[in-house]
Amino acid sequence: MHYKSPIILFGLAVSLVFTPATADELPDLGDISSTVLTPLQEKAIAEQILREVATSDEVVQDAEVTDYIQSLGQKLVEKGPDNRQKFTFFVVQDNSINAFAMPGGVIGVHTGLMLAANSESELASVLGHEIGHVTQRHLARMLASQKYDTFKNIAGIALALLVARANPDLASGALTTASAVGVQNQLDYTREYEREADRIGLQILEAGGFDVRAMPAFFNTLLRGTRFVDGSAPSFLRTHPLTTDRIADVANRVDQLPYKQVQDSKEFHMVRAKLRANSGAVQTMIDLFEQNIREGRYADEAAEHYGLAIAYLRKNALPQAEKELAWLKKNAAKHPMIENAAARLAVAKNNPQQAAQQYQAALKLFPDNRALIYGYAEHFLATKQADQAVKLTKLKQDTYPDDAYLYDLMARAYTMQGKDLLSHQAQGEAYYRRYHLERAIEQMDLAAKAKDGDFYQQSIVEARLKQLRQMVTEEKKTGFF
């Protein structure tokens, strides 16, 4: 992508400027951030951003990918200086090597970065650095130093980050609308902020049990970035050029720490294989997976066969996909991503009985796996088994009470049953969990006006509608949006 991304407006590209510094050397920046963005204000902005994330075509909505990045990120957050801060991690379908943080603990990671990382520790080093920016509230502190307090404009800049993926011209218009152009060059991270994020990120990486040497190793990956992004260097090399002194600094710092050999998780390899399988020309990826397997060029053999199976499924080459999955069933340990691929194969073969058996068996092994839950519920809907879809989604909502898609599935099942009140109620709860209060109220109002609910159901809907309307009233009092 050859345009200036609005990500730079926040100075939130990864920009891994790992300068060694002790706590005593860090500047005393004070906690002036509360005079500009309070935690409540950051939360409000984060919800606006997450509303866009939930519907953006540029954001990867695959449950297996999103659950992995959220799990890895949360593991790091728990080792950070503020584990009370809520974080949401998401993946952007973008080949550039980049990641960015936004107000309220929202962190995006490009697929290009996930594929460029040579180890899970390298990926974790990027997330740790971004977590450091969030926990130290660097954006709020920069806004304080600029005395910039137009919260609507800050939200507008944040929302433009996602717009930019699909259409740079629209992004430019969004920035103008947000009156953001005037502050574009005022929100870059300072050297002091980078040093602080480096220090925090390194501490998080070590406490999380990852290899701290992944930080300097990733420098070398960045310097080779043109291998991954044709015609341009990685985003953070363009905005924060690395020097040999900086690379030497971080290398010297980690040399003072004990050596630790860390094995990548199975999920790291499987998710990257899936991302590769779903990128680029499908036959090109099939050829590449086959060549890697033939020549033994892989970090994880099972993940390579899995990626090949996914590529064959993408091509609808079902016999070949079945062959790869048979190899995995025989040679690889049980894994939910393999089980889900086998179920998808049965669906693609138009064999509902086999699909049902596969989903049922897989959920016995991995009862809380979201991709399997989604797939089984979708199977019930496709085979007109609305009662079973309702039963499954209700059962799993105890595990995932904030999962909007489970409510979507439930709404579809109730619609199939002809239950208007329950369908609108479920759809309203789905919108609420996507931070879209107005649409949630519209659906809940339709539920309240439906004539097919009993007194108990009607009372619940009316109470919820009143609660949602009160939320909107309170939101308007803040004056942010």
Domain residues of the chain, as ranges? 7-255
The pLDDT value recorded for residue 340 is 98
From residue 271, alpha-carbon distances to 165, 294, 434, 450, 458 in Å are 22, 21, 25, 44, 44
Q: Which residues of the chain have pLDDT under 50?
A: 1-30, 32-33, 148-150, 165-168, 170-172, 174-187, 226-231, 239-241, 481
In the sheet with 88-92, reading across from the earlier edge strand, the strands are 88-92, 106-110, 99-102
Conformational region of residue 275, where left means phi above 0, alpha means psi within -120 to 50, and beta covers everything else: alpha
- Cα(480)–Cα(217) distance, integer angstroms: 42
Q: What separation in angstroms does the CA of 166 have from each of 172, 179, 221, 342?
A: 12, 21, 26, 33
pLDDT recorded at residue 20: 33
Q: Give 421-456 as a DSSP string.
A: HHHHHHHHHHHHHTT-HHHHHHHHHHHHH-SS--HH
pTM for the predicted model, two decimal places: 0.86
Report the candidate in 14, 23, 43, 280 with the shortest Cα–Cα distance to residue 129: 14
Residue 344: predicted pLDDT: 98
Q: Quick one: pLDDT at residue 302?
A: 98
Q: Say what the pLDDT of residue 30 is.
A: 44
Residue 352 tokens read as 């509902």
Q: Which of 307, 383, 306, 309 is nearest to 345 (CA)?
A: 309
> Which residue from 86, 104, 78, 84 is spatially nearest to 12, judged by alpha carbons?
104
The gap from C-alpha 124 to its chain's centroid, in whole angstroms, comes to 14
Judge whether 189 and 15 are in contact, CB under 8 Å: yes
pLDDT at 165: 43
Handedness of CA 451, 453, 455, 461 (dihedral sign): negative
pLDDT, position 217: 84
3-state secondary structure of 221: helix
Alpha-carbon distance of 259 to 72, in angstroms, equals 22
pLDDT value for 184:
41
What's the pLDDT at 309? 98
pLDDT confidence of residue 49? 84
How many Cβ atoms are within 10 Å of 389's Cβ, its own excluded?
25
Q: What is the pLDDT of residue 479?
A: 57
Angle (deg, nearest 10), helices 266-277 and 336-348: 30
157 touches 180 (CB < 8 A): yes
How many angstroms from the chain centroid is the CA of residue 455? Answer: 41
Q: Give me the pLDDT at residue 181, please.
A: 42
